[in-house]
Amino acid sequence: MAETAAGRYQSPDIDVHASLTITTKDLRNGTHLLTIAGQMTGDQFPAAEAFVDIRGVRVFLGVAPARYNPELNGPFAALFGDRQAPMTPLFAQLIVNEYGEVMSAWKQGRAVSVSIYNQPFFDTNPVDLKVNRREILRAIQRNEDEGVTNVGL
What is the residue-level pLDDT of the chain in tens, covering all 153 positions?
A: 556 666 666 777 888 999 999 999 999 889 999 999 999 999 888 889 999 999 999 999 999 888 766 555 566 666 778 888 899 999 999 999 999 999 999 999 999 999 999 998 887 766 665 655 565 566 556 656 655 444 443
Burial of 65 (0-12, 13-18, 19+ CB in 10 A): buried
Report d(CA 16, CA 33) in Å as an integer: 28
Closest CA relative to residue 42, chosen from 11, 73, 75: 75
Domain ranges of the chain: 13-145
Report d(CA 148, CA 40) in Å as an integer: 37
- Where do the DSSP E strands lie in 1-115? 2-4, 7-9, 16-26, 32-42, 48-54, 57-64, 85-96, 102-107, 110-112
